[in-house]
Structure 1
Amino acid sequence: MKPVVIRNHKLPVVSVIIPALNEQRRIEAVIREAARVHPSTEVIVVANGSTDGTDRIATRLGAIVIHGEDPLGHDVGRFVGAQAAKGKVLLFIDGDMVIPSFQLAPFVRAVLSGVDFALNDYRGPIHHIPVHRVILSKHVLNVMLGRSDLKGASLTTVPHAISRRALKEIGAESLAIPPLAHTIAISKGLKVKPVHSIQVGKLNPRRVKKNNVDPLEAMITGDHLEAINWLMKQKGPRAGYSDLQRKRDKVR
């Protein structure tokens, strides 16, 4: 295989941020595709808690590698990577799925053309009964934000890209809780738009379930509740919606 060439520009146009935990089998292919997304690209691998040589492979390929002794989780990894990024566009992908560069390019183009948050227009299996709680949480949050048009599109799902301006507006630390960052962005009037659909449900490796329970489901739904709590603190207990004709003060 030809070595990938990553030019570490002082001021790159695109920063691709890749959290990775023990992804030695996939990380080379992930980096190769990331490096092709734009001629002026830096690739940042947040090797949080990796012990299998993921960081060494990334370094050999020319990526900027941020080491962490303990597993941080993908969301905190994105926050850490965003702090180090220099690009005008920050593109977030995961180290456990290989997405071709031509599928990543629409997210970059959207931000360069004025979109602040370019989302994956992936809605998940919405016709299953019952609807998965994570999918339901995404739809509910978007309705509460007055953006039912987004349906299940969310910052919880990769790939997504954000502008440098958006990062300053929401604060990099909010990326550690994707639904919160999503909520802050919409509340601040930033341009949030689904730009391309990638069926990540088919690409994402199956997670091991304990007692038939998805270990991430409770965490992600909890993140959505935290975002709703933030929204209610900003706009009141009905999140800005009117109480119509109800006279609650008359109830005894």
Structure 2
Amino acid sequence: MSLKQRKRTSARRSGRRASQAVRRNLRPQQQPAEALPAVNHPEPVVSVIIPAMNEARTIAAVIAGARGVHPRCEVIVIVNGSADNTAEIAHRMGAKVITFPQPLGHDVGRSVGAEAARGDILLFTDGDLVISAAELRPFVEAVGSGADVALNDYSGPVRGRIAHPVILSKYTLNVMLGRPDLNGYSLTAVPHALSRKALTALGSAILSRPPLAHARAVLDGLKVKAVHKVPVGRMNAVRRKEDGRDLLQEVILSDHLEAMGLLLERRGERAGYSDAGRRREMVR
């Protein structure tokens, strides 16, 4: 290899190393989030609600991403059952921190945060999901443009030979609600956003049962739309099962049954679907 060729090869390698370094520095996990603390705006337009339990590793970057969704923003972190310094980090980042010594249970932090929120737009995410402001902003913009419920355009893994029970439940609920266009999109998945109008109509308590809140939003005629895809399934850690049971999956499935119950209560025992002229009285 000639001297000139060796120089070209060396330059290409250096360029690749530099590009890789830049990409590493742009990853949300690598951003020096704690170097840029801020305070909540005194008159927020957007309230970002972040439940967190033992998320000291990610919470600073999560808050940093949330801060960038709007110039007038407040960040509310609901720290529950934490044994680490999640709350202290969130305080240093300028968030409003609501702490509970015990775990609240799945999605209860959403209700607590919504109750404390002052913004006209409520954006929900989680303390273990590092999502950039650019990926969060479409949900805020959709509500600002007239949507009441802005959903994550993400159904979960759908290419498996056997459908995952949670994914199947979300698809089924949307079909029964008359919204097959929503596929498997649901308030079950974050990020998503609500208008103040939606919060007033639904109430904060129901947000801890996302499928029920989703069904209520559709049944009450709120403007529900999927606006942006954030593939959060790839970001979530694998859940530990107890005695072979996935307790979180059981909670989500039972929430969907409750949502189906509301649908039957509102639209009748066949949820408004026809019996196709069956003469049931002729059957003994």
Q: Quickly name the TM-score band, shorter chain normalised.
A: over 0.9
1:198 aligns with 2:227: no
Match of 1:142 among 174, 181, 184: 174
1:50 Cα deviation after fit: 1.1
Which structure 2 segments of 5+ residues have no match?
1-31
Distance 2:201 2:102 in 1: 29
What is the TM-score normalised by the length of structure 1? 0.96
1:119-134 correspondence runs (5 A): 119-134=151-166
Pair 1:116 & 2:145 matched? no
1:244 aligns with 2:244: no
Deviation at 1:126, TM superposition (A): 1.4
Alignment pair present for 1:232 and 2:264: yes
TM-score if structure 2 supplies the norm length? 0.86
Cα offset for 1:74? 4.1
State the 1:209 CA deviation. Answer: 2.5
- In the alignment, structure 1 residue 65 sits paired with structure 2 residue 97: yes
Shift of residue 212, structure 1, vs aligned partner: 4.3
- Structure 1: distance between partners of 2:78 and 2:106: 9
**Do the aligned residues in 1 keep the contact of 2:151 with 2:224 (CA within 8 Å)?**
yes
Alignment gaps of 5+ in structure 1: none
Moved more, 6-15 or 114-123: 6-15
Which of 77, 85, 97 does residue 129 from structure 2 map onto? Answer: 97
> Quick one: distance in 2 between partners of 1:180 and 1:37?
27
CA offset digits 1:153-210 (Å, max 9, x no partner): 0000000001000000111111010000000000011110000001111111111123
CA contact (8 A) 1:19 1:77 kept: yes
User: Is the 2:58–2:128 Cα contact (8 Å) retained in structure 1?
Assistant: yes
Shift of 1:211: 4.5
Superposition deviation, residue 250 in structure 1: 3.1
Larger Rg: 2
- What is the RMSD of the two structures over their aligned residues, measured on CA atoms? 1.3
SS of alignment partner, residue 94 of structure 2: coil
**In the aligned structure 1, how far is the partner of 2:164 from the partner of 2:77?**
31
Q: Is the 8 A contact 2:211 2:256 kept in 1?
A: yes
Letter of the 1:244 counterpart: A
